[in-house]
Chain A
Amino acid sequence: MTADAGSYQPPRHLLEVLQKLDYEEALEDGDPRYVDSRVARGGERTFIRLARKFGWDPLSNAFFAPSDKHILFFGHIGSGKTTELRRYAGELNASRHFYVVEVDVLAKLDRNNLQYTEVLMAMAESLLERLHDDGYALGEEALAPLRHWFGTVVQTHTRNQELSADLKTVAEGGGGLPGLIKLLAHFTAAFKIGASQKTEWRREIRNDFTTLAAAFNGLLRQLELLLSRDQRAARLLFLIDGTDKMRGEDTHKFFVQDAEQLLAIQALVIYTAPLDLKYDGRLDGKLDADIVLPMIKLVERDGRPFVTGLDTMRALLLRRADRGLFASDAEVDRLVVFSGGHPRELLRLLKLCCEVADASIDAAVVETAIQKLASEYRYFLRPDDYTLLKAIDSHPAHGGNDQRAQELLHRLALLQYNEGTWRRSHPVVRTLEGYDLAPSAPA
């Protein structure tokens, strides 16, 4: 169930635990703190389903890839999407059917006012960087279409002297792969810092997007041939991370209005996406929106404990804090139960414990932590929210996808399990007086 932790020693001091808790940190492949949660999420087939959508059956190793596939990967904020995707990327890579290129949008671009144009540039840059790092040297034939596009479309419009020089070099056939990477890096850097030419370049790219898409697709095919000849992989696969963290209007523009542009890139692509997008009814079916990273389930829908989920969350907690810091197993279990199966919420509870504990995490400390986390939810929950949450708890399949339910999902007051087949309120919310006082749903 768990990754080999080797000689890893979790922090043994409360202050050390506190210092090392960073909710935003996605674990790298091989990180000893990682715990395999696939079975525990009650959606153990998530990876298999994802792989099969890309034409590979991990069970039989049968492989026949579609010409292109754009998949949205949904999940709660902080539920471990990036961490899980890194694990998926590792397995897809290891299959030697796919050459996975990870694109961290947040690192490469400015997510304020992010559009597909610059995501495409970041994809190209990450791809070429990865190839270069792996020692591939691309010939003129592979690079020519992209170089030509830059040379003819953008060169005449740029006012940036350094960029002009780079464009000139690339257009004249110099610099090879490193030259093209440098050029793309200039673009993404300019997009990231919000350079004045951003709008102008966007317009250029949009106006001549068909040519660019064709040039990029041509490059992808050339590279796939190269990788196949090398028996490295049959297909390139892009993993675009960070697109779940765009601002609301950009999310809509990117995944709904500009979906056609995304689809123009004939590639295998996974995009991270916010959970509320799946349920707000605006996706029009162009992008594959089936896959949801489920929460780690702690109970079955009928209320029976789900031992695998509890064990996984326990393991996750004990990779962040040594067992010796807890007065007994009961404290570990109670924290797990009140996390609702949400990894970040578990870490948040752990942080609260470290803030209030004297020497060890005992029952009183755990109760205080639960109370403190619950009080943070009190800031935004309204009386009718409690009523809705109580109604959903009475009838887990109830809740619909109205605005309020989506907002509660987005803010984690409502958690969903088994890929959305049932939902339940966050356990800490159920300790609040407002929840107690809310009218019960009719039977």
Chain B
Amino acid sequence: MDRAAATPEAAFASEQTRLAEARQLPGTCHDEFLRLTRTLLHGPAFQWLLIDAPHEGLRRQVMASLDKVLRRAGLSSQRLPLSDKILDVPMLEARLVKNARQVPVVHVIGRPGWFDAARWDAFNIRRERLAAAAPARLVFWLDGEAIALASRSAPDLWSWRGGVYAFLPETAPAEHHAEHAIPLPRDLFPQPAEVDSRSMTERSRRVAEIRTWLARHPNSPDEIKAGIFAELGRLLYSLGELDAAMAHWRDEQLPLVQRLGDSRAVAVTMGDIADVLQDRGESEEALRIRREEELPVYERLGDVRSRAVTMGKIADVLQQRGESEEALRIYREEVLPMFERLGAVRSRAVAMGRIADVLQERGESEEALRIRREELLPEFERLGDVESRAMTMGKIADVLRDRGESEEALRIYRDEVLPMFERLGVVRWRAVTMGKIADVLRDRGESEEALRIYREEVLPMFEGLGYVRERAVAMGRIADVLQQRGEIEEALRIYREEELPVFERLGDERSLAVVMSRINKILQADAQHSSPGH
């Protein structure tokens, strides 16, 4: 298999890069880019691929994105422009052979007119020799005319193609082709689904579709844009693009809903912004927004459902800070009854999940386990909410691990939870699950592998996404392993410099207490070791 897929972790990261780069391109290029990169990364070592890319600017953009994906997968590439210096096909052959011996991907950048019928014929008769001597992916960047000429002048060669990929710029909406290429506006306004089970690729494709539509309809009415903006923001957030989501909500969506004078939409958008702030550890500001800018609006409008959701998020912050009693009160007295009254089954199940979290934290793990197994799992299965189901399974595995059933916990993390988060592209929960796998390995004494996962799989993901609290937790895990291995100085430094300040800033009293106790333990052991008699 390709280096891109050497490990599941590397494959996932490679897939993330591929989708992220595809989303940067015009919508018409999104799917072609995914096709091309998949065959380059996972197809045979030798391939002859034809690219129809007549516009230089777009070609450069696609190539730049392609290079990032190839680099991420450990594949280097070289460019071979068909300039005046390449006099004929034998010279091209020699250059291709030379380049292919150095790198696995060679981009041949065509120039209009360089390939005429005679040159395609000359290239055709060299194809087997080329395949033998230049075992690389040969990517020919041409235009439609050159490709048509190849198919007409050298049918044998044409039959040999690995594929044709077209990167064409947006066309005017009036053109027939464009109307077919991009969903019609009415498709852009699905009722926002409470459960989004679309795969990572489907959501990435949707982002590209929306961006394309918006680029083509810059002057469309704000009322139309509002629905599209809402979907785009949630998609970016779910794909782990926190910066892009924040910029979208703050700079695009908020002004738009303010222009519309839609106070509820303004409150919802502020809530979205608060989600990102909370993820980044700015919980004070997140709490302020929820209390001062969301709740009063929902209360004024009598939007009891949104009020209950917001109260639940406030309780999340409180629980994170260690105020679990107050959090439990809110979930039980303010959130749960409201969802029950509204018949909002999924929201009720999510709230029950939060209650189970608090119970588990307080040591009531049997009751937490019962809630998850008997109430939540069947509900999420019935709703088809695969993400919530995976999260619940992960929590069940946490309890099993605490009970010492580490084998079963590991199986659940690896076989039931991780694959689902990977399919959905939920980067944050995938990284959390990887961390839990590493926790089990550490418990079993496989500290080397645990350390590798924390350092190479978990930490970079949280750093890249800007999840401050999760990053601090991962650093703490690394310090735990280092301490076990006797690397006391470094462990102490991490507890003091990487964890403590973050939890202080977050107001996370419980985590602060845990770190402080670890530091004290080290210091006491050190003191005993240094005291007379030792």
Contact = CB atoms under 8 A, between A and B. Distances in A.
Interface of A: 15-16, 18-24, 77-78, 106, 110-112, 245-248, 274, 344, 351-352, 354-356, 358-359, 372, 375-376, 379-380, 407, 410-412
A355 B199 contact: no
Nearest first, the 10 closest Cβ-Cβ pairs linking A and B are A380-B151, A355-B35, A112-B125, A15-B42, A77-B159, A410-B155, A379-B148, A358-B199, A376-B164, A411-B155
Given A77-B159, A78-B159, A19 B121 contact: no
B17 to A, nearest CB: 16
Nearest to A22: B44
A359 B2 contact: no
Nearest to B419: A359
A117 to B, nearest CB: 18
B357 to A, nearest CB: 30
B53 to A, nearest CB: 14
Nearest to A112: B125
Contacts of B199: 358-359
Contacts, number: 85
B147 A77 contact: no
Contact of B126 (A77, A112, A354, A379): A112
B166 interface: yes
Contact of A23 (B42, B148, B160, B423): B160
A372 B156 CA distance: 20
B125 A356 contact: no
Interface in B486-515: none
Contacts of B35: 352, 355-356, 372
Nearest to B5: A15
A246 B129 CA distance: 13
Contact of B129 (A22, A110, A376): A110
A74 to B, nearest CB: 14
A358 B419 CA distance: 13
Contacts of B202: 358
Interface string B412-425: 00000000000100
B124 interface: yes
B128 A111 contact: yes
B2 A19 contact: yes
B437 to A, nearest CB: 22
A19 B43 contact: yes
Nearest to A245: B156
A410 B152 CA distance: 10
Interface string B33-73: 01100110011100000000000000000000000000000
Contact of A106 (B128, B144, B155): B128
Interface in B1-53: 1-2, 5, 31, 34-35, 38-39, 42-44
Given A344-B159, A351-B163, A355-B39, 19 more contacts: A15-B1, A15-B38, A19-B44, A77-B155, A77-B159, A78-B159, A111-B128, A246-B125, A351-B43, A351-B162, A352-B35, A352-B163, A376-B161, A376-B164, A379-B147, A379-B148, A379-B164, A380-B151, A412-B159
Contacts of A15: 1, 5, 38, 42
Contacts of A412: 159
Contact of B121 (A247, A359, A410): A247
A19 B164 contact: no
A18 B159 contact: no
Interface of B: 1-2, 5, 31, 34-35, 38-39, 42-44, 121, 124-126, 128-129, 131, 144, 147-148, 151-152, 155-156, 158-164, 166, 199, 201-202, 423
A302 to B, nearest CB: 30
Contacts of B126: 112
A344 B160 CA distance: 10
A287 B42 CA distance: 45
Q: DSSP class of B's interface residues: helix, strand, loop or mixed?
A: helix
A110 B34 CA distance: 37
Contacts of A274: 156
A83 to B, nearest CB: 15
B424 to A, nearest CB: 11
Contacts of B158: 380, 411
B498 to A, nearest CB: 38
Given A15-B1, A379-B144, A380-B151, A21 B44 contact: yes
Residue in B34, B129, B131, B161 whose Cβ sees the most chain A Cβ within 10 Å: B129
Nearest to B149: A380
B38 to A, nearest CB: 5
A410 to B, nearest CB: 5
Contacts of A359: 199, 423
Contact of B201 (A110, A248, A358): A358
Contacts of A20: 44
A77 B201 CA distance: 35
B164 A21 contact: no
A20 B47 CA distance: 12
Contacts of B38: 15, 18, 354-355
Indicate the member of A106, A245, A274, A375 with the most B CB atoms within 10 Å: A245
Nearest to A194: B90
B151 A18 contact: no
A111 B42 contact: no
Nearest to B37: A355
25 contacts: A15-B1, A15-B5, A19-B1, A19-B42, A19-B43, A21-B43, A22-B44, A23-B159, A24-B131, A77-B156, A245-B156, A246-B125, A351-B39, A351-B163, A355-B38, A355-B39, A356-B35, A358-B201, A375-B164, A379-B164, A380-B151, A407-B152, A407-B155, A411-B155, A411-B158
Contacts of B34: 355-356
Contacts of A372: 35
A15 B39 CA distance: 9
Nearest to B166: A375
Contacts of B43: 18-19, 21, 351
A424 B64 CA distance: 43
A408 B163 CA distance: 19
B308 to A, nearest CB: 35
